[in-house]
């Protein structure tokens, strides 16, 4: 932060003083007129009274000379300056009567990051010279490491409530970065993370980037382009690489040999720091899915349990089925999407933290008898379970709610309420700061492996940044002025987010059919607001409005009817944030 000061001073010129005497003798009211024109009514009225009591010009001139000797003219000028500067918003008046102008210098950029440290500032001849230190960190190369490598799992149903959707097998591997070459000779020890970024891909002949290759796959099982699902999901670095293989791919003609003799999946990853290979053990032999009548009854009962227990007991406990919350992973966020269909219009539900009882959301069924809840909880706000209660039921801990549910109660009533749940883990991988609050945010797909993030701020500025896929920290590249003509998506919002107070409290208000109704009252962070995204990325404006946080998505866990869950790709216009 730089501070410049402004003060006023002047010296009296003998010739100018003589001319003032002359003007005063010719026109005794000149002092009165000048003072009133500049807002100094006290001096003007005093001079007017003096001229009435002592109407002779020499007396008035002598009085003016006395005022000059007393320094009244200096106070007169200072008052004029103070009056002119008091409404200037960038100036701060100091106790000694001078003024200060503060200017924050942004020394960070994509090239030097935070390496420039300002130490001195010198002004000379209208120019400013800045000097300081360039604190470039020691070059520590990154090393790609893998953990939690799981082989392909047993075959299981895609949807336990609908066996017709088939079976699949899954696997995952957690990729992270560790300090590599240069860590042992760095000046500052210990080295906890590399100082040089690691990015995916090497350039191929067609100009695209090769992120990974599938090796030793003679039947092309693990690289089927027509599978219709995400087969190998590779996010940025660090990230969780996830693999899915559907039985429909294995059962295709000329591939049935894999079902009887499956082989492992071997992946080779390319980075700017080297090549790594990892192998997923082969899945079990694929067998035709079959159930006994007793197994069918148990499965149907379990599928009905969630809906029936909510209807009969008016409570629902939902566990986070991914990795449990870790207080030390502040960059990890949990996205909860809970959707109910079949409730009476206007019926209310409360969502609590399943352990503490903190109210997170108060939601209401809309005219289509649907209720939607979407939470984005990170850091200390993450929870291991949610409890949903209908109407005005009091809070019950999640463990107690689970004890209330039984197969008997589930079979007693028809599941008139449908429930769909999606849980997605988000990892913060980057953030973009702007000088003014962001008003619009859109992610426009331009190519198979690139999107353009279009941003417009309250100050009227427009920005366009190229966002490649997959994305890693620092890959957002500003486009030239020609790239700013990115079309803003004209989404018609079905609801809007209205903020109340300085905390996170806000209401989701719908204006469907020309009528206004409250759909939900949030007391916790939500994915609603200024947000946009794609399958592998989620971008949202933070609470202060000047920062866009980029999250990396993992593959979501979905339970219930998938066909009426909202799509992955959020639109910044639906709903949008208002103040």
| Chain segment 176-203, per-residue pLDDT in tens | 888 888 888 887 788 877 888 777 777 6
Q: Provide the pLDDT confidence category of residue 89 given band limits of 50, 70 and 90.
A: low
Cβ neighbours, 10 Å, residue 96: 7
Whole-model pTM: value is 0.60
CA pair distance 72, 418, nearest whole angstrom? 84
Check pLDDT > 90 for residue 362: yes
What average pLDDT does range 520-533 have in this prediction?
87
Cβ neighbours, 10 Å, residue 198: 21
CA pair distance 168, 250, nearest whole angstrom? 10
| Chain segment 241-289, per-residue pLDDT in tens | 888 888 888 888 878 888 889 999 998 888 877 788 999 999 999 888 8
Residues 429/199, Cβ–Cβ less than 8 Å:
no
Report the pLDDT value the prediction gives residue 211, as an integer from 0 to 100: 80
CA pair distance 279, 268, nearest whole angstrom? 9
Cα torsion 355, 360, 365, 371: sign: negative
Report the pLDDT value the prediction gives residue 460, as an integer from 0 to 100: 80
CA pair distance 509, 532, nearest whole angstrom? 19
User: Residue 191, SS3?
Assistant: coil
Q: Provide the pLDDT confidence category of residue 300 given band limits of 50, 70 and 90.
A: low
What average pLDDT does range 217-245 have in this prediction?
73
Check pLDDT > 60 for residue 123: yes
Residues 441/455, Cβ–Cβ less than 8 Å:
yes
247: left (phi over 0), alpha (psi -120 to 50) or beta: alpha
Residues 300/293, Cβ–Cβ less than 8 Å:
no
pLDDT averaged over the chain? Answer: 75
Report the pLDDT value the prediction gives residue 28, as an integer from 0 to 100: 58
| Chain segment 144-167, per-residue pLDDT in tens | 888 777 788 898 887 777 787 788
CA pair distance 416, 418, nearest whole angstrom? 6
Nearest residue to 393 via CA among 362, 426, 367:
362
Check pLDDT > 90 for residue 494: no
User: Residue 57, SS3?
Assistant: helix
Residues 76/40, Cβ–Cβ less than 8 Å:
yes
């Amino acid at each position: 932060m730089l501070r410049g000061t402004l003060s006023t001073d002047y010296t009296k010129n003998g010739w100018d003083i003589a001319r003032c005497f002359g003007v005063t003798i010719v026109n005794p009211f000149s002092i009165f007129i000048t003072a009133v024109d500049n807002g100094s009514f006290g001096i003007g009225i005093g001079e007017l009274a003096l001229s009435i009591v002592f109407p002779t010009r020499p007396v008035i001139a002598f009085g003016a000379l006395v005022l000059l000797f007393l320094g009244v003219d200096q106070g007169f000028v200072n008052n004029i300056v103070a009056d002119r500067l008091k409404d200037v918003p960038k100036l701060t008046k100091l106790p000694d009567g001078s003024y200060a102008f503060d200017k924050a210098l942004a020394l960070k950029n994509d090239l030097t990051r935070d390496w420039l440290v300002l130490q001195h500032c010198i002004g000379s001849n209208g120019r400013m010279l800045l000097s300081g230190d360039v604190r470039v960190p020691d070059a520590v190369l990154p090393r790609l490491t893998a953990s939690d490598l799981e082989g392909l799992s047993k075959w299981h149903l895609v949807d336990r409530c609908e066996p017709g959707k088939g079976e699949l097998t899954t696997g995952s591997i957690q990729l992270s970065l560790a300090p590599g070459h240069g860590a042992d000779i760095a000046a500052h020890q210990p080295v906890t993370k590399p100082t040089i970024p690691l990015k995916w891909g090497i350039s191929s002949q067609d100009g695209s980037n090769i992120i990974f290759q599938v090796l030793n796959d003679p039947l092309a099982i693990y690289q089927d382009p027509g599978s219709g699902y995400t087969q190998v999901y590779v996010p940025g670095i660090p990230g969780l690489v996830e693999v899915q293989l559907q039985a429909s791919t294995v059962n295709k003609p000329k591939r049935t040999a894999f079902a009887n003799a499956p082989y492992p999946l071997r992946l080779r990853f390319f980075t700017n720091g080297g090549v790594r290979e990892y192998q997923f053990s082969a899945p079990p032999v694929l067998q035709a899915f079959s159930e006994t009548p007793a197994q069918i009854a148990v499965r149907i009962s379990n599928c009905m349990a969630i809906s029936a227990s909510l209807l009969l007991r008016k409570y629902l406990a939902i566990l986070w089925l991914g990795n449990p919350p870790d207080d030390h992973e502040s960059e990890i966020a949990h996205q909860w999407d809970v959707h109910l269909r079949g409730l009476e219009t206007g019926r209310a539900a409360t969502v609590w933290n399943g352990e503490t009882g903190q109210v997170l959301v108060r939601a209401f069924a809309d005219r289509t008898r649907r209720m939607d809840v979407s939470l984005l909880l990170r850091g200390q706000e993450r929870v291991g379970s949610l409890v949903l209660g209908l109407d005005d039921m009091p809070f019950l801990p999640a463990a107690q709610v689970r004890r209330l549910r039984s197969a008997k109660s589930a079979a007693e009533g028809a599941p008139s309420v449908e429930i769909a749940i999606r849980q997605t883990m988000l990892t913060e991988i980057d953030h973009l700061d702007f000088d003014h609050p962001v008003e619009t945010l859109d992610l426009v797909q331009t190519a198979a492996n690139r999107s353009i993030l279009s941003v417009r701020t309250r100050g009227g500025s427009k920005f366009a940044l190229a966002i490649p896929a997959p994305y890693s920290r620092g890959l957002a590249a500003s486009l030239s002025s020609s790239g700013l003509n990115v079309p803003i998506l004209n989404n018609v919002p079905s609801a809007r987010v209205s903020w109340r107070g300085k905390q996170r409290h806000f209401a989701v208000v719908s204006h469907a059919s020309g009528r206004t109704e409250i759909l939900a009252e949030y007391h916790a962070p939500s994915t609603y607001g200024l947000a946009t995204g794609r399958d592998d990325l989620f971008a949202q404006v933070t609470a202060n409005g000047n920062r866009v946080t980029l999250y990396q998505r993992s593959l979501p866990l979905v339970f219930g009817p998938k066909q009426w869950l909202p799509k992955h790709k959020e639109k910044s216009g639906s709903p949008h944030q208002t103040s």
